[in-house]
Amino acid sequence: MFGGSELILIGVIVFLLFGSKKLPDIAKGFREMNKIKDDIKKDITENLTKDNDMLKDLNDLSKTLKK
C-alpha cells in the first residue's frame, strides 16, 4: 500500500501538524480503534461460525424428516 518513504513523509507531516505532545494521545487512539476493530471482527467470526453450525443442524434435521 505505502512504501517506506511515504510513511516517513506522513509521519513528519503528522509531527509538524500536531506536535510531539499530542502524538502519544493520537497513537493511543489508534491502538484503541484497532482493539475495537479486532473485537468486532472476532464477534462477527464467532457469530458466523454459530450460524453455520445451526444451518448444518437444520439441514441434518430436514434430511431426517424427509426419510
Is 6 part of any domain? no
Is 41 part of any domain? yes
* Grid cell of 16 as nine digits: 509538524
pTM above 0.85, yes or no: no
User: Which range of residues forms the domain containing residue 47?
Assistant: 19-66
Per-residue pLDDT of the chain (67 residues), as tens digits, is 668 889 889 888 988 998 888 888 888 998 999 999 999 999 998 888 888 888 888 888 888 888 7
Is 2 part of any domain? no
| DSSP-assigned letters across all residues of 20-35 | TTTHHHHHHHHHHHHH
Helix boundaries (H) for the chain: 4-18, 23-66
Q: Which amino acid is it at 50?
A: K
* Grid cell of 58 as nine digits: 437444520
Q: What is the chain's alpha carbon radius of gyration, rounded to the nearest angstrom?
A: 23
- In the chain, the number of structural domains is 1
